[in-house]
C-alpha cells in the first residue's frame, strides 16, 4: 500500500511540476487576454451609450433649435408655445435683455430674472449655458439659458426621459455606469432609479483623472486606474457636443474572474485531475504487468 502511494505520488509530482510551470504562463496570457477582452467590451458599451446620449440630447433636448434663428418677439413667443408641448420640456420662458419676462409657458414664472449665475453667464457668450438642478423627489433637470434676438430664453427640461434610456442600455453594459456634467454633478448613477440630489458624487480620483484627460484634449480612455490603492477597469467617453462625460467602472478582481479566466481555471484544474488519474492508471497497469510476469 505504501509503495502504491509512493509510486503514484512520484509520477504525479513528476508530471505536475512542468505542467504547473506551463499553467502559470498560460494563466498570465489568459489574464492579459481577459483584461483586453473586458476593456474592449466596456469601451464598446460606453461608446455606444455616449453616442445614444448625444443623439437624444440633439433630438429631444435641444428645444431651442427651432427658436434661435428667429428675430421678432412675436415669432419667438409663437414658437415657444408649440415647443413647450415637448415631452421633456417642463417650461420655457423668454426674457428681455434687461431680465424682464416677456412670455412663459409657466403661468407663475418670475417676472424678472437678475443676479442669477447662469443668466449672468449667458450675457457674456453667444452659446447656450446649461446647469443641472435637482428638484425634490424627481429626476434631475437641465436648465439652459441662451441669448436669442437680444433677449434670453430659459428652458427647463426633465432628464427623466434620458434617464430611462440610459437605464435600459446600462443593463447591457459591463460595470457601473455614471453620467456627469462638466462640473461633476451626477446626472445618472446605475445604482439608483434616478439621482434626486447633488449629494451623490463621484470619487475625487476619477475627477482628477478626467481633469487630466481634459487638459490633454483626450476625449476617450480605457484602461486600469488606481483609486485609493485599489485597481479598477474604466472606460470613459466625452458626450459629443457637450461637456458631459459618461463612464463605466469595474473592480479589477471581479473583471479578471469574468469570462476567459474562469474558463482557464477550469482547464488547469482539469489538467491536474487528468495527471492524477494518469498517475493512478500507470501504477495499476504496471502492477498488473508485474503480477502476470510473476
pLDDT at 115 over 70: no
pLDDT of residue 85: 87
pTM to 2 decimals? 0.77
The model's pLDDT over 155-170, given as tens digits with 9 standing for 90+, comes to 999 999 999 999 999 9
Confidence of residue 228 (pLDDT cuts 50, 70, 90): confident
pLDDT at 210 over 90: yes
Q: What is the mean pLDDT of residues 51-63?
A: 93
The model's pLDDT over 235-291, given as tens digits with 9 standing for 90+, comes to 999 999 899 999 999 988 877 665 566 777 777 777 778 877 777 777 676 666 655
The C-alpha atoms of residue 294 and residue 288 are separated, in whole angstroms, by 10
Q: What is the mean pLDDT of residues 222-247?
A: 93
Q: How far is CA 23 from CA 26, 30, 32, in A?
A: 5, 10, 14
Domains of the chain: 63-160 (3.30.450.20)
pLDDT of residue 236: 96
Q: How far is CA 125 from CA 143, 145, 146, in A?
A: 16, 11, 9
For the ranges 66-70, 116-120, 136-140, 286-290, the maximum mean pLDDT occurs at 66-70
Cell of 14: 513528476
pLDDT of residue 4: 64
Between 294 and 287, whose confidence is greater?
287
Mean pLDDT of the chain, nearest integer:
84
The model's pLDDT over 65-86, given as tens digits with 9 standing for 90+, comes to 889 889 898 999 999 998 888 8
Cell of 143: 436648465
pLDDT of residue 110: 85
The C-alpha atoms of residue 280 and residue 278 are separated, in whole angstroms, by 6
Alpha helices per DSSP H over 67-189: 73-83, 117-123, 160-170
Asked whether the beta carbons of 147 and 126 are under 8 A apart, the reply is yes
Give the orientation angle of helix 2-56 with respect to helix 160-170, to 10 degrees. Answer: 150
The C-alpha atoms of residue 98 and residue 113 are separated, in whole angstroms, by 8
pLDDT at 135 over 70: yes
Between 208 and 197, whose confidence is greater?
208
pLDDT of residue 286: 64
Amino acid at each position: 500500500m505504501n509503495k502504491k502511494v509512493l509510486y503514484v505520488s512520484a509520477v504525479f509530482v513528476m508530471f505536475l511540476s512542468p505542467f504547473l510551470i506551463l499553467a502559470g504562463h498560460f494563466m498570465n496570457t489568459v489574464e492579459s487576454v481577459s483584461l483586453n477582452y473586458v476593456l474592449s467590451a466596456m469601451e464598446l458599451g460606453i461608446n455606444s451609450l455616449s453616442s445614444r446620449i448625444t443623439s437624444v440630447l440633439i433630438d429631444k433636448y435641444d428645444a431651442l433649435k427651432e427658436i434661435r434663428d428667429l428675430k421678432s418677439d412675436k415669432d419667438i413667443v409663437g414658437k415657444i408655445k408649440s415647443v413647450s408641448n415637448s415631452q421633456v420640456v417642463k417650461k420655457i420662458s423668454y426674457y428681455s435683455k434687461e431680465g424682464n419676462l416677456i412670455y412663459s409657458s409657466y403661468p407663475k414664472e418670475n417676472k424678472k430674472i437678475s443676479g442669477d449665475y447662469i443668466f449672468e453667464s449667458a450675457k457674456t457668450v453667444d452659446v447656450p449655458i446649461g446647469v443641472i438642478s435637482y428638484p425634490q423627489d424627481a429626476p434631475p433637470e437641465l436648465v439652459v439659458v441662451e441669448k436669442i434676438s437680444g433677449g434670453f430664453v430659459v428652458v427647463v427640461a426633465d432628464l427623466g426621459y434620458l434617464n430611462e434610456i440610459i437605464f435600459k442600455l446600462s443593463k447591457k453594459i459591463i460595470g457601473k455606469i455614471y453620467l456627469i456634467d462638466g462640473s461633476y454633478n451626477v446626472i445618472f448613477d446605475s445604482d439608483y432609479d434616478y439621482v434626486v440630489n447633488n449629494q451623490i458624487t463621484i470619487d475625487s480620483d476619477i475627477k482628477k483623472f478626467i481633469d487630466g484627460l481634459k487638459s490633454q484634449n483626450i476625449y476617450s480612455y480605457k484602461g486600469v486606474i488606481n483609486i485609493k490603492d485599489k485597481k479598477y477597469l474604466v472606460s470613459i467617453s466625452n458626450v459629443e457636443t457637450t461637456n458631459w462625460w459618461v463612464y463605466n467602472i469595474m473592480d479589477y478582481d471581479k473583471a479578471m474572474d469574468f469570462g476567459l479566466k474562469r474558463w482557464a481555471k477550469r482547464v488547469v484544474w482539469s489538467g491536474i485531475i487528468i495527471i492524477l488519474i494518469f498517475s493512478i492508471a500507470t501504477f495499476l497497469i504496471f502492477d498488473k504487468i508485474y503480477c502476470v510476469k510473476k
